[in-house]
Amino acid sequence: MNAYNISNPSSVASIKDMAELLAKGAGVKLVMDVPDAKEKKAFNPMQNSSLNSEKLMSLGWNGLFDARTGFEHTVRIIKEGKL
């Protein structure tokens, strides 16, 4: 049995990027607060914590689209009630 990370290295996005893409796709205003010192301590200190997809890609798998397109599809599917 093998385990594989399903990730697309061309679609690395921060949580902020994801929130912006989803808000834009949904047509809603995004409001973000700046964290205080206590909240910042709980943040992940790593700048890039994306998954390694080399094992899956060695089998010939490749992502079909980037993060922006993926989130646009997700919002459309949710709006259509297909999820």
73 Cβ contact list (under 8 Å, min separation 6): 65
Per-residue model confidence (pLDDT) at position 29: 94
51 Cβ contact list (under 8 Å, min separation 6): 5, 6, 7
Contact 51, 5 (CB under 8 A): yes
pTM: 0.63
pLDDT per residue as tens, the chain (83 positions): 878 777 788 787 888 888 998 898 888 999 998 888 888 887 766 666 677 888 888 889 888 888 888 888 888 898 888 76
